[in-house]
């Protein structure tokens, strides 16, 4: 028990003793004001740690317990620059980030002489090369029919579309650009949960209106679904 208490308060006790020793020697050596100030501040910090009620680790390990918060603060940098593997995807690997950085600078992102990936691991995806050129498929055939013979308004959807990103997460210019791309590419633009704004309709690209739990754009004053407002929005033209 005594050994445990000594180890917990070693830094605090040493700070007090060194502060007193520096203060005693200060009249003989004027430059001792620096260690006196340093150890005095550490002693005051230790007293504060012992009396505060917010962090148990600081109360149990005065002064030295604060190293935990320091290491928590620098943990992302330590992991990124020293410990992280090049292909650890959480959420993106260092290799992927490096590729983005190089392309942003208009530099070649290709690396010759093989790969760092384990091509024999379970789940590795690859595309086998063809021994001879094949005829390119017609891009207009990459579509899926939505709605059968009984559907009054069937829709031919592209297999490549713009996924949900709500207006609340993007700017007006971003919405305009996305919808212009949908109009030029003949595919649809998912609105996300943020309803349909005038920027979605500006370029006339196809829209998929995503209705979330908030019913944005088609709800009543008390937050319920409003069929009339939904019909008005769905039939509205740009």
Coil vs helix vs strand at 206 = coil
* The predicted structure's pLDDT at residue 1: 54
Cβ(195)–Cβ(230) below 8 Å: no
Nearest to 36 by CA among 48, 20, 50: 20
* The predicted structure's pLDDT at residue 17: 92
Q: Give, to the nearest 10 degrees, the angle between helix 2-25 and helix 33-51.
A: 150
pLDDT tens digits for range 108-139: 877 767 777 777 888 888 888 888 888 878 87
pLDDT tens digits for range 141-153: 889 999 988 998 8
What whole-number distance in Å separates Cα of residue 57 and Cα of residue 64?
9
Bigger pLDDT: 195 vs 145: 145
Indicate the pTM of the whole model: 0.47
Q: What average pLDDT does the chain have?
A: 86
Cβ(87)–Cβ(99) below 8 Å: no
Structural domain spans, the chain: 3-62, 152-235
């Amino acid at each position: 028990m005594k050994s445990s208490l000594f180890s917990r308060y070693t830094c605090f006790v040493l700070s007090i003793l060194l502060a007193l020793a520096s203060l005693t020697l200060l009249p003989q050596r004027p430059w001792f004001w620096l260690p006196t100030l340093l150890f005095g501040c550490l002693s005051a910090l230790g007293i504060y740690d012992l009396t505060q009620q917010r962090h148990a680790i600081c109360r149990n390990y005065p002064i030295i317990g604060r190293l935990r918060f320091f290491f928590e603060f620098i943990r992302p940098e330590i992991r990124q620059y020293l410990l992280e593997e090049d292909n650890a995807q959480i959420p993106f690997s260092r290799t992927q980030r490096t590729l983005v950085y190089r392309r942003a600078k208009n530099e070649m992102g290709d690396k010759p002489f093989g790969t760092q990936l384990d091509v024999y691991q379970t789940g590795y995806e690859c595309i086998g090369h063809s021994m001879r050129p094949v005829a390119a498929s017609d891009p207009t055939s990459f579509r899926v029919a939505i709605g059968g013979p009984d559907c009054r308004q069937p829709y031919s959807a592209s297999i490549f579309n713009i996924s949900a990103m709500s207006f609340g997460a993007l700017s007006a210019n971003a919405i305009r650009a996305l919808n212009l791309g949908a109009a030029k590419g003949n595919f649809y633009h998912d609105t996300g949960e943020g309803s349909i704004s005038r920027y979605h309709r500006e370029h006339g690209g196809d829209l998929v209106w995503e209705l979330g739990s908030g019913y944005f754009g088609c709800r009543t004053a008390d937050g319920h679904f409003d069929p009339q407002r939904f019909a008005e929005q769905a039939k509205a033209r740009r």
